[in-house]
């Protein structure tokens, strides 16, 4: 995106301040043009200059210093703003960084905020001042900042503060300077437009109190475009089979129920995206010919990278919606139409082709990052967030493997496993892409551009009640709203660059959309395009999509380059088309597998915020890799799989999903309660009617390493016994629980309920309540309570806990232990612990969002010490 040019935006002739001129100094923020939009709607002619491009200060009625990354104490971060503050003779409004620069110029100290606050709503209390005329004393605003003005200097008056006393606005009593720490231009800030109107009233007191009369704007007449040629028939056929029979090369876009098949044509460059419309689209036409393909993440960044884009021209396409099949071409070609209909109609009498994907040809997966290296990058990103350099960083990594796969078979398997509304297949001369994207990057239709950023996800529930609880939590969760809001404000900013002033709207904000496997928080932002804006202009303003960069976009992309140290390529760019009628539709390239030169590549990432937990973020990487892992039949890189065969454990690339499991913590050859784990596993096998695992467990004893920190998992299923040797995850010190009523089949056997439990596990774990209202256990641990000096265990149908058994046996020697039947309300006031092999003892600090009584530290540390002393070396370890 181009942020280095001076721009002049004319004001709305009907605005109150039409004729006024405002200079906006852009500190390379991703929200600056939201300010510009407000000013232009009010009638002001706005000149925008980046802080690296000084301009003469004469001829303006007012100056606005924008938000931005960094600190005013670093001269390069505010650039030309410093000169403005020395020389400006007109009113100046500073927003966020602009306000900090203003205060620092007058002698204030800039300090870290008590906590970084980005995309969160706060209530402020404002004083009487011309800036706040007509605005309630208390109102809600959106904040994006890590630094604050610690104390206003002499000569500045405080105008607003938060409930906890942080300075949110001020003015210079000697100069005509005003500043706000928050972001009045955010879509969720109240009275933002009125604040800018008040500022212009200060700067231009001679302005009319009423809007100017309508001004007629001459629009050039446009000659009608020739229509596309469309033929339609009713056929029941699979779009993938059509793609195959037409050559199996080009693009198959299956966007929201309509499929477009574009056979591969002439490869073209980026300049093709600047072409004006050449044809009109008849009513009822399902698709259009044009330019199809992908834009890589670095396509518009000026970076030298392999595969920045892959675009081709398709003068004729096939479009399918249900049983409606259309052939659409720029010019009627009898031979192309006849041949294409013959090939397509030949599919009508055939069953859908089932293509075989041989996962055994996929080599071992490798991840570009280890858990430790990725978490170190997260910590570095959080340091930069705390320093005010960025608000949010969308950090990514990639998995790859040697693979010789049929792209069509790969896509067929992927769309079966991951239903998605914006899926696509590209088969191009140099590479192929199979994508199951859930997210639209942007769509252009009828002169309107819209984007649908996704931020916020929950899994689908295992029953209607649980599903609705997850959906409701996503709809109301402040953290998810903050992430989504940040990208909404960024997209508004980007579309303002190419949209007609005043037409940028968030039509749908924080909507929960439910897909086959997840609920997602989606917002829709749209704008009416300026008449002379081409698709390449739109892309220069919006690409890459903000949900894959973070904000502010320019600085954050620099941080991403430093942290990731490798090009993303196809991943996190866009896949779609530019139609010959001027329409366009692009999906975000996520959940996508790229095949190139005998290798498979899969990008995966997540948003890093100030409050992000590095361990949870790494687990999200593992979780988001699930579609690829399932397709490949492999574990996440770092795990080692062994199949029990002929009395021994043989290394294999992968093992099937198990029916029965048991896990334990292995550190330097020592395990706590190994015999009890083996007994529980044996009892589970017997309950499920499996063979005795005695020989398998003996082989495990022989095979377990005596060095390192591991979390092995014993597994059993229809294909036999197996061992999954996994690196030991980071252990929690405390646990936050969410309660849920769940019907658990085979509660005494560990394994059959894995799928159910994986959906429920949030925020750290879920407390399971029986249908009768009895507290049972969590999805991963036993629960015990302390009633004074008495330990309480749960009298409920549940799994026998090895860690609980060991602890109870030790506790009985010192204090009383009772088994009780408890309901959720009975837990009030009790100290709660969770117990399992991985985390040991963790006190419950939160239940259903409410804090729990603090643990008795001496008791907690005593029993942790006792439990740690129970580890013993496994006999006959190699």
The CA–CA distances, whole Å, from 220 to 274, 360, 531, 532 equal 20, 62, 10, 11
The pLDDT score that the predictor gives to residue 634 is 76
The answer to which of 14-28, 42-56, 307-321, 349-363 has the lowest mean pLDDT is: 349-363
pLDDT of residue 219 exceeding 60, the answer is: no
The pLDDT score that the predictor gives to residue 629 is 83
Residue 406 CA to residue 362 CA, distance in Å, equals 12
- Among the listed residues 61, 118, 145, 185, the single catalytic one is 185
The pLDDT score that the predictor gives to residue 667 is 87
Is 83 tagged catalytic? no
Mean pLDDT, residues 777-794: 96
Phi first, then psi, for residue 433 (nearest 5°) are -135, 125
Instruction: Write the Ramachandran bin of 693: left for phi over 0, alpha for psi from -120 to 50, otherwise beta.
Output: alpha
To 10 degrees, the CA torsion angle through 66, 71, 75, 79?
Answer: -10
pLDDT of residue 878 exceeding 60, the answer is: no
The pLDDT score that the predictor gives to residue 746 is 86
Buried b or exposed e, range 116-154, using 16+ CB within 10 angstroms: bbbbbbbebebeebebbeebeeebebbbbbbbbbeebee
Ordered DSSP codes for 201-251: HHH-TTS-SSPPPP--------PPPPBPEEEEEE----HHHHHHHTTS-EE
Q: Which residues contact 649 (CB under 8 A, 6 or more apart)?
A: 642, 643, 699, 700, 703, 723
The pLDDT score that the predictor gives to residue 1 is 47
The answer to which of 405-419, 556-570, 632-646, 831-845 has the lowest mean pLDDT is: 632-646
- Give the pLDDT confidence of 124-142 residue by residue, as tens digits: 999 999 999 999 999 999 9
- Give the pLDDT confidence of 795-812 residue by residue, as tens digits: 999 999 999 999 999 999
- Among the listed residues 96, 204, 329, 678, the single catalytic one is 96
The pLDDT score that the predictor gives to residue 815 is 96
Structure-token pair, residue 584: 């366009």
The pLDDT score that the predictor gives to residue 829 is 92
Mean pLDDT, residues 193-199: 98
The pLDDT score that the predictor gives to residue 459 is 67
The pLDDT score that the predictor gives to residue 302 is 55
Is 183 tagged catalytic? yes
Greatest alpha-carbon span in the chain: 94
Structure-token pair, residue 75: 């001269």
To 10 degrees, the CA torsion angle through 546, 549, 550, 551?
Answer: -80
Q: Which residues contact 622 (CB under 8 A, 6 or more apart)?
A: 636
The pLDDT score that the predictor gives to residue 620 is 79
Mean pLDDT, residues 370-385: 92
Instruction: Decide: helix, strand or coil at residue 343.
Output: helix
Half-sphere exposure of 59 (CA within 13 A, CB side): 6
**Helix or strand run (H / E) with residue 868:** helix 857-868
- Report the 3 state secondary structure along 450-490: EECCEEEEEECCCCHHHHHHHHHHHHHCHHHHHHHHHHHHH
pLDDT of residue 406 exceeding 60, the answer is: yes
What percentage of residues in the chain have a pLDDT greater than 90? 74
Residue 851 CA to residue 858 CA, distance in Å, equals 20
Total-model pTM: 0.73
Mean pLDDT, residues 732-739: 92
- Among the listed residues 105, 118, 183, 462, the single catalytic one is 183
Instruction: Decide: helix, strand or coil at residue 342.
Output: helix
Mean pLDDT, residues 524-533: 93
Is 185 tagged catalytic? yes
| Cβ proximity of 425 and 433 under 8 Å | yes
Half-sphere exposure of 244 (CA within 13 A, CB side): 17
pLDDT of residue 877 exceeding 80, the answer is: no
Short-list 180, 626, 256, CA closest to 421: 256
Q: Which residues contact 721 (CB under 8 A, 6 or more apart)?
A: 643, 644, 693, 696, 714, 715
pLDDT of residue 69 exceeding 90, the answer is: yes
Structure-token pair, residue 143: 């904040």
pLDDT of residue 446 exceeding 80, the answer is: yes
Tell me the average pLDDT of the chain. 91
The pLDDT score that the predictor gives to residue 209 is 52
- Give the pLDDT confidence of 80-91 residue by residue, as tens digits: 999 999 999 999
pLDDT of residue 622 exceeding 90, the answer is: no
Domains, the chain, ranges and CATH?
A: 7-203 (3.40.50.880), 639-725 (3.30.470.10), 735-873 (3.20.10.10)
> At how many degrees (to 10) do helices 674-687 and 694-703 cross?
150
């Amino acid at each position: 995106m181009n942020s280095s040019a001076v721009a002049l935006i004319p004001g709305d002739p009907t605005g109150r301040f039409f004729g006024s001129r405002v200079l906006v100094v852009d500190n390379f923020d991703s929200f600056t043009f939201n300010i510009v939009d407000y000013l232009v709607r009010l009638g002001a002619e706005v000149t925008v200059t980046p802080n690296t491009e000084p301009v003469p200060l004469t001829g303006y009625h007012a100056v606005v210093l924008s938000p931005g990354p960094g600190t005013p104490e670093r001269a390069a971060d505010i650039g030309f703003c410093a000169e403005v503050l020395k020389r400006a003779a007109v009113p100046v409004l500073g927003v966020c960084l602009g306000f900090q620069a203003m205060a620092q110029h007058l002698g204030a100290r800039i300090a870290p905020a008590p906590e970084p606050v980005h995309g969160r709503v706060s209530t402020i209390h404002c004083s009487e001042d011309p800036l706040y005329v007509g605005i309630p004393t208390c109102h809600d605003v959106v904040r994006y900042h890590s630094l604050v003005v610690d104390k206003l200097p002499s000569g500045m008056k405080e105008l607003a503060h938060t409930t906890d006393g942080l300075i949110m606005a001020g003015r210079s009593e000697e100069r005509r300077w005003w500043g706000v720490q928050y972001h009045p231009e955010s879509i969720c800030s109240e009275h933002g437009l009125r604040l800018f109107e008040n500022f212009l009233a200060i700067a231009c007191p001679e302005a009319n109190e009423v809007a100017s009369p309508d001004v007629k704007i001459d629009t050039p007449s446009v000659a009608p475009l020739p229509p596309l040629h469309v033929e339609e028939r009713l056929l029941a056929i699979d779009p993938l089979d059509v793609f195959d029979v037409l050559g199996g090369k080009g693009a198959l876009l299956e966007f929201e129920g309509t499929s477009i098949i574009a056979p591969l044509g002439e490869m073209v460059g980026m300049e093709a995206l600047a072409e004006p419309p050449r044809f009109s689209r008849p009513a009822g036409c399902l698709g259009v010919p044009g330019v199809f393909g992908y834009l890589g993440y670095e396509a518009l960044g000026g970076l030298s990278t392999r595969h920045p884009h892959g675009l081709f021209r398709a003068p004729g396409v096939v479009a399918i919606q249900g049983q409606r099949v259309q052939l659409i071409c720029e010019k009627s070609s009898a031979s192309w139409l006849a041949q294409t209909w013959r090939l397509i109609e030949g599919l009508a009498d055939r069953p859908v082709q089932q293509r075989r994907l041989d996962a055994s040809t996929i080599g071992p997966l490798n991840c570009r990052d280890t858990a430790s290296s990725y978490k170190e990058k997260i910590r570095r990103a959080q340091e930069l967030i705390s320093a005010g350099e960025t608000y949010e960083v969308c950090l990514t990594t990639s998995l790859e493997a040697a693979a010789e796969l049929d792209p069509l078979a790969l896509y067929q398997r992927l769309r079966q496993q991951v239903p998605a509304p914006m899926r696509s297949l590209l088969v191009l001369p140099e590479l192929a892409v199979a994508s199951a994207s859930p997210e639209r990057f942007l769509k252009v239709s009828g002169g309107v551009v819209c984007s649908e950023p996704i931020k916020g996800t929950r899994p689908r529930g295992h029953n209607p009640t649980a599903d609705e609880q997850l959906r409701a939590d996503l709809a109301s969760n402040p953290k998810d709203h903050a992430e989504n809001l940040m990208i909404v404000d960024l997209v508004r900013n980007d579309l303002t660059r190419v949209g007609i002033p005043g037409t940028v709207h968030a039509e749908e904000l924080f909507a929960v959309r439910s897909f086959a496997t997840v609920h997602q928080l989606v917002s829709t932002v749209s704008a009416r395009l300026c008449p002379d804006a081409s698709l390449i202009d739109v892309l220069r303003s919006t690409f890459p999509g903000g949900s894959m960069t973070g904000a502010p976009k320019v600085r954050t992309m620099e941080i991403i380059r430093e942290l990731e140290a490798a090009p993303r390529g196809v991943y996190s760019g866009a896949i779609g088309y530019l139609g010959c009628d001027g329409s366009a539709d692009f999906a975000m390239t996520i959940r996508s597998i790229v095949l190139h030169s005998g290798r498979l590549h899969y990008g995966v990432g997540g948003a890093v915020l100030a409050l992000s937990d590095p361990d949870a973020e790494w687990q999200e990487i593992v979780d988001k890799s699930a579609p690829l892992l399932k397709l490949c039949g492999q574990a996440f890189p770092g795990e080692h799989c062994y199949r029990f065969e002929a009395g021994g454990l043989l290394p294999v690339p992968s093992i099937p999903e198990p029916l029965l499991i048991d896990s334990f913590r292995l550190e330097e050859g020592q395990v706590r309660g190994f015999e009890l784990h083996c007994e529980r596993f044996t009892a589970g096998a017997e309950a499920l009617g499996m063979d005795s695992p005695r020989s398998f467990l003996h082989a495990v004893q022989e095979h377990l390493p005596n060095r390192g920190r591991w979390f092995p998992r014993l597994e059993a299923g229809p294909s036999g016994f197996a061992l999954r040797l996994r690196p030991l995850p980071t252990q929690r010190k405390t646990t936050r629980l969410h309660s849920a009523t769940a019907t658990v089949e085979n509660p005494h056997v560990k394994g059959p309920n894995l799928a159910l439990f994986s959906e429920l596990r949030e925020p750290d774990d879920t407390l399971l309540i029986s249908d009768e209202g009895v507290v049972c256990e969590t999805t991963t641990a036993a629960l015990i309570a302390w009633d004074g000096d008495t330990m309480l265990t749960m009298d409920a149908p549940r799994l026998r806990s090895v860690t609980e058994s060991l602890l109870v046996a030790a506790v009985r020697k010192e204090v009383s232990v009772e088994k009780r039947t408890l309901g959720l309300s009975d837990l009030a006031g009790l100290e709660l612990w969770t117990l399992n092999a991985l985390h040991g003892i963790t006190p419950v600090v939160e239940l259903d969002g409410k804090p729990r009584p603090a643990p008795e530290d001496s008791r907690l540390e005593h029993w942790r010490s006792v439990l740690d002393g129970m580890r013993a070396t496994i006999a006959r370890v190699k």
